[in-house]
């Protein structure tokens, strides 16, 4: 990245994450809510697509009702391939928008439309468009954690599971990249592929809080543990990893590596699936405390936590929280998402 480019880069807004609110339910309330949701989902021909960071209740409900629990790539694929008339997305706003972009004829609902993402919030479409316009020689690659309008300005959308392969492919073709919004994932992709990348300076408030010095100490205390890291984490944390990958790739590593113990640097909602996928193994949260610790919702995304059984029932009962996307924006955004899905299918 040249100094000139940094000078031209818009300052990213400071993101204030909401206070963490988790749903507390007794057994009777939980079973009653689940039973009612299942009835309404069947009546409305709805399918539930949930991210691994949502609550265990939502993940179990998605699987019990024929939906899916997955990373953002598979969430997009699954909703697109499924025959349901309504897709309920338990995750954050960009995941709901991606479902709607790919499925304009379907009704897409979310338990809470305020469930955002610090990466999406740090990349306003107007500033991003102006930045792209200053660098017309670069191929615009954006992470899935962005608004529909930002995707509409991009040439390619990537997820954590496809970013390295897609940028390596573009680099082989001699393309220079403009990347947004996650600077940590961007640095990781740049270091892995050697591509010329100009990086937007956004960050995930959850992954940015993992601490390298404390992680190194934890490794010493658990010498047989493998370290699994999501690439939204800082470079110094990634440097300590045995495996770096998307949430699905992290779960797969827990299943396939011979280690019994794992230190995991991603949202701790993933532990529900990890315990089910690799029974008998031990999963430890990577440290977020230590010098300079600031996280308010350590190792758990406050926006993912906005999804619950109560608000899911409410949207089914009153048909609220439907995602709508401006059609010209959708028509442009679908091109960059479809390019990724086609690439992933071929490679």
- What are the residues binding ligand SF4 (CB under 6 A)? 92, 117-119, 145, 204-207, 232, 267, 301, 303-304
CB 210 → ligand SF4: shortest distance, Å? 12
Torsion from C-alpha of 100, 101, 102, 103, nearest 10 degrees:
40
Report the 3 state secondary structure along 165-199.
HHHHHHHHCCCCEEEECEHHHHHHHHHHHCCCEEE
| Contact predicate 180/153, CB 8 Å | no
297 is an interface residue for ligand 13P by CB under 6 A: no
- Closest CB to ligand SF4 among 92 and 251? 92
Report the 3 state secondary structure along 197-220.
EEECCECCCCHHHCCHHHHHHHHH
268 is an interface residue for ligand 13P by CB under 6 A: no
CB 147 → ligand SF4: shortest distance, Å? 12
Binding piece for ligand 13P, criterion CB under 6 A, among 14-22, 158-166, 184-192, 286-294? 158-166
> Encoding tokens for residue 120?
């999406």
Q: Buried (b) or exposed (e) across 115-135, using 16+ Cβ within 10 A? A: bbbbbbbbbbbebbeebbeee
159 is an interface residue for ligand 13P by CB under 6 A: yes
**How many C-beta neighbours within 10 Å does residue 93 have?**
22
CB 301 → ligand SF4: shortest distance, Å? 3
246, 297, 307, 311: residue in contact with ligand 13P (rule CB under 6 A): 246
For 87, list phi and psi in degrees, rounded to 5.
Answer: -110, 125
- Closest CB to ligand 13P among 72 and 259? 72
Binding piece for ligand 13P, criterion CB under 6 A, among 67-75, 80-88, 251-259, 306-314? 67-75
- Closest CB to ligand SF4 among 278 and 304? 304
145, 146, 268, 288: residue in contact with ligand 13P (rule CB under 6 A): 145
Q: Which does 304 bind (CB under 5 to 8 A by kind): ligand SF4, ligand 13P, none?
A: ligand SF4
Sequence-distant (6+) residues with CB within 8 A of 10 are: 127, 130, 131
> Encoding tokens for residue 279?
């029974």
- Closest CB to ligand 13P among 34 and 143? 143
CB 188 → ligand SF4: shortest distance, Å? 14
For 194, list phi and psi in degrees, rounded to 5.
Answer: 75, 10
CB 207 → ligand SF4: shortest distance, Å? 6
Residues that bind ligand 13P (CB under 6 A): 71-73, 145, 159-161, 204, 230, 232, 246-247
């Amino acid at each position: 990245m040249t100094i000139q480019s940094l000078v031209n880069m818009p300052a990213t807004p400071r993101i204030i994450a909401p206070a963490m609110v988790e749903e507390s339910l007794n057994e009777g309330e939980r079973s009653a809510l689940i039973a009612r949701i299942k009835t309404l989902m069947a009546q409305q021909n709805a399918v539930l697509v949930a991210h691994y960071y949502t609550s265990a209740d939502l993940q179990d409900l998605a699987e019990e009702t024929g939906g899916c629990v997955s990373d953002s790539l598979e969430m997009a694929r699954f909703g697109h391939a499924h025959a349901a008339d309504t897709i309920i997305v338990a995750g954050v706003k960009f995941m709901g928008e991606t479902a709607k972009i790919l499925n304009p004829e379907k009704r897409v609902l979310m338990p809470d439309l305020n469930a955002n993402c610090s990466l999406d919030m740090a990349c306003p479409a107007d500033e991003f468009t102006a930045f792209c316009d200053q660098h017309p020689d670069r191929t615009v690659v954006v992470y899935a954690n962005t608004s529909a309008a930002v995707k509409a300005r991009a040439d390619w959308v990537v997820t954590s599971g496809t970013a390295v392969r897609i940028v390596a492919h573009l680099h082989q073709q001699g393309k220079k990249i403009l990347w947004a919004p996650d600077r940590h994932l961007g640095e990781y992709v740049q270091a892995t592929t050697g591509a010329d990348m100009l990086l937007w300076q956004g960050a995930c408030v959850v992954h940015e809080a993992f601490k390298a010095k404390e992680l190194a100490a934890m490794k010493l205390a658990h010498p047989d543990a493998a370290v699994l890291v999501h690439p939204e984490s800082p470079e110094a944390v990634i440097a300590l990893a045995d495996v770096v990958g998307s949430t699905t790739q992290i779960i797969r590593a827990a299943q396939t590596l011979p280690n019994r113990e794992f230190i995991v640097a991603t949202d701790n909602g993933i532990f529900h699936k990890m315990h089910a996928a690799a029974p008998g193994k031990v999963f430890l949260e990577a440290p977020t405390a230590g010098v300079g610790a600031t996280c308010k919702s350590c190792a758990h995304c406050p926006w993912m936590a906005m999804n619950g059984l109560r608000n899911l029932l409410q949207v089914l009962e009153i048909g609220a929280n439907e995602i709508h996307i401006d059609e010209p924006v959708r028509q442009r955004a679908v091109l960059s998402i479809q390019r990724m899905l086609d690439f992933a299918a071929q490679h």
